[in-house]
Chain A
Amino acid sequence: MEHTSLIERILRGLALTLVVIFFMFPILWIFMMSFQTNETILRIPPQLIFEPTLANYTALITGKLMTAAGTLDIAFMRNLWNSVFLSVTSVAVSLLLGVPAAYAFARHKFRGSEDIAFTLLSFKFAPALLVLLPLTLYFQKLGLANTYIGLIWVYQLICLPLILWIVRGYFEDIPADIEYAYRIGGHSWFATFRKIALPLAGPGIAAAGLLAFIFAWNNFVFALVLASADKQPVTVGALAFITSSGIQYGQISAAIVLSITPTLALALYAQRYLVEGLSLGAVKG
Chain B
Amino acid sequence: MSPTALTISGVDKFYGPIDRGVHAVKQLTMEIARGEIVALLGSSGCGKTSTLRMIAGFEEVSRGAISVGGRQVHTLPPVKRNVAMAFEGYSLYPPLTVRENMAFALKAARLAKGEVDAKVASIAKLLEIEDILERYPSSISGGQQQRASLGRALIRDADLHLLDEPMGQLEPQLRAVLRGRIKHFIKERGLTAILVTHDQTEANALADRIAVMEGGVLQQFDTPERIKERPANLFTGTFVGEPPMNVFEAFVGATAGRINLRLSDGLSLDYDRDAFSAPVRDQLLSRERVVIGIRPYAVRRSKDGVPARVSANQWLGDQTHIAADFAGGSLVLVEHDRTRLDLGAPIKVSIDPKNLHVFDQASGTAISHGMELA
Closest to A281 in B: B138
Other than the known A178-B91, A183-B77, what 8 A-B pairs have Cβ atoms closer than 8 Å?
A: A180-B85, A181-B149, A184-B56, A185-B156, A186-B105, A196-B93, A282-B94, A282-B137
Q: Which residue of B lies closest to A187 (CB)?
A: B79
CA–CA, A180 and B109, complex, Å: 17
- Interface residue range, chain B: 20 to 34
Contacts of A282 in B (CB 8 A): 94, 137-138
- Assembled-state Cα–Cα distance A241/B9 (Å): 77
Whether, in the assembled complex, B152 has its beta carbon less than 8 Å from a beta carbon of chain A, the answer is: yes
- With A282-B94, A285-B137 already in contact, the answer to whether A183 and B89 are too (CB < 8 A) is no
| In the complex, B307 has a CB within 8 A of chain A | no
> Most chain-B CB neighbours within 10 Å: which of A175, A189, A283?
A283
CB of B84 within 8 Å of the partner chain:
yes
**Interface presence of B58 (CB below 8 A):** yes
Interface residues of A in 260-285 (CB under 8 A from B): 280, 282-283, 285
Q: How far is the CA of A282 from the CA of B145 in the complex (A)?
A: 12
Interface size class of A (residues with CB under 8 A): 20 to 34
User: Is B87 in contact with chain A by the CB < 8 A criterion?
Assistant: yes
Q: Does A85 contact B (CB under 8 A)?
A: no
Q: Which residues from 259 to 300 on chain B have a C-beta closer than 8 Å to any C-beta of chain A?
A: none
**Cβ contacts under 8 Å, B114 to chain A:** none
Contact with B along A202-238 (1 / 0, CB 8 A): 0000000000000000000000000000000000000
Q: Check if A39 is an interface residue, CB within 8 A of chain B.
A: no
Interchain residue pairs with CB less than 8 A apart (21):
A178-B91, A178-B93, A178-B94, A180-B78, A180-B91, A181-B91, A181-B149, A182-B93, A183-B57, A183-B77, A184-B57, A184-B79, A184-B83, A185-B152, A186-B109, A187-B79, A188-B77, A189-B77, A282-B94, A282-B137, A285-B142
Which residues of A from 161 to 196 have beta carbons under 8 Å from B? 175-178, 180-189, 196
Residue contact B94 to A280, C-beta cutoff 8 Å: yes
Residues of A within 8 A of B58 (CB): 176, 180
In the bound complex, how far is the Cα of B109 from the Cα of A57, in angstroms?
62
- When distances are taken between beta carbons in the complex, the residues of chain B under 8 Å from A189 are 77
Complex interface: chain A residues within 8 A of B92 (CB):
178, 181, 285
Chain A-chain B contacts (Cβ-Cβ < 8 Å), number:
66
Task: Give the docked Cα–Cα distance between A175 and B91 (Å).
Answer: 7
A184 CB, nearest partner CB in chain B, Å: 5
> Which residues of chain B come closer than 8 Å to A246, judged between CB atoms?
none
A185 vs B56: C-alpha distance when bound (angstroms): 11
A185-B91 contact given A180-B58, A282-B137, A282-B138, CB 8 Å threshold: no
Task: Tell me if A185 and B105 are in contact (CB < 8 A).
Answer: yes
In the assembled complex, B112 has its CB within 8 A of some CB on chain A: no
Q: List residues of chain A with CB within 8 A of the CB of B87.
A: 177, 180-181
- Residue in A177, A186, A188, A199 whose beta carbon sits within 8 Å of that of B91 in the complex: A177
Binding site for B on A (CB under 8 A): 175-178, 180-189, 196, 199-200, 280, 282-283, 285
Q: How far is the CB of A104 from chain B (nearest CB, A)?
A: 16
Report the nearest A residue to B145, measured CB to CB.
A285
> Which B residues from 46 to 85 make CB contacts under 8 A with A?
56-58, 77-79, 81, 83-85
Does B95 interact with chain A (Cβ within 8 Å)?
Answer: yes
Residue of A nearest to B15 (CB): A109
Q: Is the C-beta of B104 less than 8 angstroms from some C-beta in chain A?
A: yes
CA distance A268 to B20 in the complex (A): 52
Specify the chain A residue showing the minimal Cβ separation from B82: A186
Given contacts A184-B84, A199-B95, A280-B94, contact A285 B89 (CB under 8 A): yes
B91 touches A285 (CB 8 A): yes
B108 interface residue (CB < 8 Å to A): yes
Contacting residues, chain A, for B57 (C-beta < 8 A)? 183-184
Which chain A positions have C-beta within 8 A of B142? 285
In order of increasing CB-CB distance, the 4 nearest A-B pairs are: A282-B138, A177-B91, A185-B105, A186-B108
Closest chain-B Cβ to A227's Cβ sits at a distance in Å of 43
Q: Which residues of chain B are within 8 angstroms of A175 by Cβ–Cβ distance?
A: 89, 91
* Assembled-state Cα–Cα distance A259/B105 (Å): 50
Query: CB distance B78 to A184 under 8 Å?
Result: yes
Task: Check if A187 sits within 8 Å of B91, measured CB to CB.
Answer: no
Closest CB in chain A relative to B16 CB, distance in Å: 9
CB-CB nearest in chain B for A184: B78
Q: What is the CA–CA distance of A138 and B144 in the complex, to the nearest angstrom?
A: 62
Q: Which A residues are in CB contact (< 8 Å) with B78?
A: 180, 183-184
